[in-house]
Structure 1
Amino acid sequence: MKTLCGWVNRKIFLYNVTFGLYMLDWWERLLFNFLVLLLIWFLGYNSWRYTANFLRGSFAMINDLLISRQQWRLVNGEGVCGGAFR
């Protein structure tokens, strides 16, 4: 448990030093961290919506292709009993 707390404290320290947050007041750090979390939330939310919309469109396109192939087979008599009604 002590090593875990030390590891977390080290990561927080590295984050503060990397972004220069160690020289800010507590409220400035709070504001910066809030903006970072807001940016991460926006990126995640919009990525989720884009991915869902992309997959929905892809599945609809594949479904349309499969339906059109089935309709072509039915029109040409290949879909009924293996083409026995030609």
Structure 2
Amino acid sequence: MKTLCGWVNRKIFLYNVTFGLYMLDWWERLLFNFLVLLLIWFLGYNSWRYTANFLRGSFAMINDLLISRQQWRLVNGEG
């Protein structure tokens, strides 16, 4: 547990130093972190929506293709 806490503290320190947050006040750091989390949420939400719509359209296209092949076989007496 101690090593996990040390690892998390090092990552937080690295984040603060990388983005220069160590020189900000607590409320500025809070605002920056809130905006970062909001950006991550927007990216995740819209990625999820795009992926869901893409997969829904792909499955519908595959379903239409399979139905049209089945109908073609029935019309031509192969099925």
The alignment's TM-score, normalised by the length of structure 2, stands at 0.96
Give CA deviations for 1:26-82 in whole Å, capped at 9, x if unaligned.
Answer: 00000000000000000000000000000000000000000000000000011xxxx
Q: Unpaired runs of 5+ in structure 1? A: 79-86
Q: Which has the larger radius of gyration?
A: 1
The alignment's TM-score, normalised by the length of structure 1, stands at 0.89
Q: Unpaired runs of 5+ in structure 2? A: none
Which portions of structure 1, spanning 4 or more consecutive aligned residues, are displaced by more than 4 angstroms? Answer: none
Once the two structures are superposed, the pairs formed by residues 42-61 of structure 1 within 5 Å of their partners are 42-61=42-61
Q: Which has the higher helix share?
A: 2
Q: How many residues align?
A: 78
Task: Report the identity percentage.
Answer: 100
